Amino acid sequence: MASTRENAISSKGRAIVTFKKNGGILRTAEAIRKGIHPETLYSLLREGKLERLSRGVLRIADGHPLSNPDLVKVAKRIPTGVICLLSALSFHDLTTHVPHEVDVALPFGAEQPRLQHPPFRAYRFRGKSFTEGIETHSIDGVQVRIYSAEKTLADCFKFRNKIGINTAVEALRMYRQRGKIKSNELMKFAAICRVKDVMRPYLEAIF
C-alpha cells in the first residue's frame, strides 16, 4: 500500500518536473507522449496542481500569470498555424487596434481547427505566402510562430479588403516611425504576396 502511494507521489513529481521543463504548459497529448499517465494528469488537476488553460492544454497552477494567454493557447492548440495580420501587427506594436480574435494563417487545404476559446479567425495561405517570413518567439515559455513585421505588412495589404486599407497604411506609417526599415525584406514579401503595385504608392508617399 505504502509502495503504491509512493509511486503515485513520485509519478506526480516527475510530471510536474516535465511540465516545468516545457515552460509549464503542455497539451494533454504531449504530456502523455512524454510519459505522463492520464490518471496522473487527472489527479494533479483534481488536486489543483495543474489547471486547464483551454481544452486539451494544461499548465502548472502556481505558474506566473501569462503575458499573452491567447497567443499561447492558439500556438498550443494549432501548432501548424502562424500568427498573422492584426494579431501579428499587435505583437510587433504596429497598430493602435486591439484584436478581438487571434488571426492565424494555415496552409491551404488544412482542416479547420476546433477551438472554442480564444476566438480566432483562420486565413488560408498558399506556397511561399505561408512558409516565408515565419519567426519563432518564446512567449511565456511557449514557442509561438509569428510572421515578421515586414511579412505582416505585405499580408495586410493583401488582405486589405478584410482588415481595411486604413489599418494597413497606419501599420506602414508606424513601421516607418520606428526607424528600423528593411526595404529589401518589404519588397521581397510584397512580391511573394503579389502586392508590389498596391504598396508602391504608399511606400513612395510614406518613405
pLDDT tens sequence for the chain (207 residues): 444 444 556 888 888 888 788 777 788 888 888 888 888 888 888 888 887 877 778 878 776 666 688 898 899 888 899 999 999 999 999 999 888 899 999 998 887 877 777 789 999 999 999 999 999 998 887 889 999 999 999 999 999 999 999 999 999 999 999 888 898 999 999 999 999 999 988 888 777
Please say whether the beta carbons of 202 and 172 come within 8 A.
Answer: yes
Q: Residue 105 pairs with which residues in a beta bridge?
A: 82, 123
Q: What share of the chain is helix, strand, coil (3-state, %, to 5)?
A: 50, 20, 30
Please say whether the beta carbons of 194 and 126 come within 8 A.
Answer: no
Residue 22 makes CB contacts below 8 A (sequence gap 6+) with 30, 34, 141
Residue appearing with cell numbers 480574435: 101
Domain coordinates in residue numbering, the chain:
2-60, 69-206
Residue 70's pLDDT is: 87
Residue 106's pLDDT is: 95
Nearest to 147 by CA among 166, 125, 174, 163: 125
Residue 2's pLDDT is: 43
Residue 131 makes CB contacts below 8 A (sequence gap 6+) with none
Residue 1's pLDDT is: 45
Nearest to 104 by CA among 126, 117, 87: 87
Q: Which architecture, in CATH terms, is 69-206?
A: 2-Layer Sandwich (3.30)
The whole model's pTM is what?
A: 0.73
Q: What is the CA radius of gyration of the chain?
A: 21
138 sits in which H/E element: strand 134-139
101-134 b/e with 16+ CB inside 10 Å = b? Answer: ebbbbbeeeeeeeebeebebebbebeeebbebbe
